[in-house]
Amino acid sequence: MQKLVTGLVVGVVSIFAVSAGFALVQQMTRQFTLQSLGANDISVEQALLVAQGAIDACKKDNSVITVAVVDHEGGVRFIMRGDGASPEMVDNARRKAYTARTFRQATSAWMERTALDAVDEKGKPVDLNGQRFLENTIAQKGGMPILWHGDALGGVGVAGSKGGEEADEVCAKAGVDAIADQLF
């Protein structure tokens, strides 16, 4: 009888230990997964730094710009319309940021890749022009992705600089460079 009780106790303790270990592993996995999902995004503070970097770069030629910063899902994290900037520039800047984030490249590079006469590295025609018709994308220079280990944390779009779309993109790059030290 004593062997039966001892065996029963050992069995119950073993089941408890295995169950507790399994629960611990599940909790640790859950916690790790939730942390990684929250970490792969641009913070509000970083969005402000990106916008300020872009504004400072465009301020050199007294441009009145609009800056938009989107997060990893393409949602607006920060948007600012300069004094005297036209209202439609808000949507242009947001769409530039969204396009850069979505395709993980500068909007100028994306425009080349989706042009009607685009070719790949081997000279073969590439038919990606349909991407230009996706909702929220815009075929204008001035958007830069915010990348971290190849993952798009967000994007920045600039519209309205005096130098045109090329200057918009320079200012957007300056915005991304403003937090480059945080994107190790």
- In tens, the pLDDT along 68-92 reads 999 999 999 999 999 989 999 999 9
Residue 100: closest CA among 36, 164, 165? 165
DSSP element (H, E) containing 76: strand 76-81
Distance CA 143, CA 161 (A): 13
User: What pLDDT, on a 0 to 100 scale, did the predictor assign at position 9?
Assistant: 73
User: What pLDDT, on a 0 to 100 scale, did the predictor assign at position 114?
Assistant: 94
Q: Which residue has the tokens 């808000």?
A: 90
Phi-psi region of 138 (alpha: psi -120 to 50; beta: other; left: phi over 0): beta
Residue 58: closest CA among 175, 178, 177, 144? 175
Q: Which amino acid is at 63?
A: S
Which segments in the chain show pLDDT lower than 70? 21, 23-39, 184
User: What pLDDT, on a 0 to 100 scale, did the predictor assign at position 37?
Assistant: 39
Distance CA 182, CA 184 (A): 6
